[in-house]
């Protein structure tokens, strides 16, 4: 339960930041849909979806013995027809959430190292800073996971939009036509072929290992995901 109290706020913020980035990028590309519907906000209450944001993270956390947690926020609505340049707008909006999670992962790593260095300089603060650093380590991992999971080219994930625009027109049309079944393909991937999913997330695991290595001299308490 102690770990869960650290993890859930970090996961919620990371998911909300991802969706906010989509809405903000869409606004800059000419689509005010998210803003008009009150979704262009970091207020988590506006982005919570009962299953993806609450039940799934809890189920994954307890099902993995507290080693893994994952979830999603309610997608921010966008209307690509409002983009000034539909192709460019879709590429920017689709990649905005992924880029945001990648930047957050890097920021959390830098802050985790800084917190560890501060605790070394002021030993009396180590107890409190160890808790802060643990949350930051979770921030590194969860944002890497969100970034690379959303890069998977299965609709409705962001990676499907990016792939669509690099395919030849005829292939792209067929790809979009079968996109309506993407949710079912994603569910099957998670439930029936988890090893394939882990393979697709290999870059996240690799970068997590790099982060653990860089932060090792400043780590105040062992972080279990550094042993993955």
> Which amino acids are annotated catalytic?
19
Peptide bond into 156 cis (omega under 30): yes
What is d(CA 170, CA 175) in angstroms, rounded to the nearest whole number? Answer: 9
- Which ranges in the chain belong to alpha helices (H)? 2-28, 33-36, 56-63, 86-121, 126-150, 158-164, 169-177, 182-192, 194-200, 202-215
Handedness of CA 210, 212, 213, 217 (dihedral sign): positive
User: What burial letters (b/e) apply to 129-152, b meaning 16+ CB within 10 Å?
Assistant: beebbbbbbbbbbbbbbbbbbbbb
């Amino acid at each position: 339960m102690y770990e869960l109290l650290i993890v859930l706020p970090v996961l919620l913020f990371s998911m909300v930041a991802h969706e906010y980035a989509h809405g903000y990028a869409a606004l800059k590309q000419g689509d005010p849909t998210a803003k008009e519907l009150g979704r262009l906000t970091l207020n988590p209450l506006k982005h919570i979806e009962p299953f993806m944001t609450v039940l799934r993270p809890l189920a994954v956390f307890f099902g993995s013995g507290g080693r893994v947690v994952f979830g999603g926020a309610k997608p921010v609505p966008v209307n690509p027809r409002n983009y000034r340049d539909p192709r460019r707008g879709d590429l920017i909006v689709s990649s905005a959430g992924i880029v945001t999670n990648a930047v957050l992962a890097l920021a959390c790593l830098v802050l985790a190292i800084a917190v560890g260095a501060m605790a070394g300089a002021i030993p009396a603060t180590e107890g409190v800073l160890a808790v802060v650093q643990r949350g930051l380590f979770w921030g590194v991992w969860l944002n890497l996971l969100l970034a690379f999971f959303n890069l998977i080219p299965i609709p409705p994930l962001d990676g499907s939009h990016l792939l669509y625009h690099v395919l030849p027109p005829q292939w792209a049309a067929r790809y979009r036509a079968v996109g309506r079944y993407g949710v079912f393909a994603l569910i099957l991937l998670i439930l029936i072929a988890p090893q394939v999913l882990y393979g697709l997330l290999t870059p996240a695991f690799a970068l997590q290992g790099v982060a653990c290595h860089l932060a090792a001299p400043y780590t105040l308490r062992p972080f279990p995901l550094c042993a993955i």
